[in-house]
Amino acid sequence: MVTVEGKTHYEVTTWRLLETGWQDGATNMAIDEAIMEAVAAGEQPPTLRFYGWQPACLSLGYSQPWQVVDWEACAERGWNVVRRPTGGRAILHVDELTYSVVGPEHEPRLQGGILPSYLRLSDALAAGLAKLGVSPERAGAPGKGGALGPVCFDQPSNYEITSGGRKLVGSAQARRRGMVLQHGTLPLYGDLRRIVHVLQFEGEEARQAAATALTASALTLEESLGRRISYEEAMAALVAGFTTALNLRLEPGRLSAAEQERAERIRAEKFANEVWTRRN
């Protein structure tokens, strides 16, 4: 990796490319963790994965209090609740494309800590979105006007992708035992305000204020472009963005039998277990 005239250039390297379709929330998080274990063990190369969520799922950040969830409202809608292994605040996963990146900390595209790697990976996301016609921007430091609410998309974090000043991609990262997991959400279409109906607020006025703030601070890909983009088209664009911006050779693959088995165990023991989801 070298920097020339402010631009980073990487030696070409091969990562695995996975598309695992639509899964429930606990399965999706378990697959990310199983991939991380396989890459850490040297059984698999660094991996870029794309996936969706079925049914819709409310995910909590690693340290977010579980009491922010309106569990009855989620159950009435048939929506799952899961706790992510990464930080941040609540996200409603529906009508979206999700990506995850797993690799070792010494990988040039991931080294140097959370913020430098966020910036490098945001280059790939921005390049992919530009191929769809978005004019992507990067957020600076969040404002300091008061306490953060429970909703992830009510404010962009450092280097997250925005369009017209509104958050378009939300990402979160975890580092453990020399490994990096970053995953993120690209809302394709739909009403982002749906999330406020499954979270706890002090009253209806506070709920409506959160919905209004969300409308002002975030948008979907459809809103950004003025046309609806399919999951497949969005994924193809992001694959191209990662390939060109990070000088990657992406080789399509599939989960190994060992990864599938491990994901099933992780799902049962952790992400589908209420002891994990409702931990303090």
Cα distances from 80 to residues 24, 48, 91, 95, in angstroms, run: 7, 24, 12, 14
57 tagged catalytic:
no
Structural domains in the chain, CATH included, are 12-272 (3.30.930.10)
> Do residues 168 and 158 touch, judged by C-beta distance below 8 A?
no
| In the predicted structure, residue 31 carries a pLDDT above the cut 80 | yes
User: 134 pLDDT band (50/70/90 cuts)?
Assistant: very high
Out of 14-28, 47-61, 140-154, 165-179, pick the least confident: 140-154
- pLDDT tens digits, one per residue of 218-276: 999 999 999 999 999 999 999 999 999 999 999 999 999 999 999 999 999 999 999 99
Q: Which residue has the higher pLDDT, 145 or 264?
A: 264
Read off the pLDDT of residues 40-67 as tens digits, 9 standing for 90 and up. 999 999 999 999 999 999 999 999 999 9
Q: Which residue is catalytic, options 34, 38, 152, 174?
A: 152
Q: How confident is the model at residue 139 (pLDDT cuts 50, 70, 90)?
A: confident
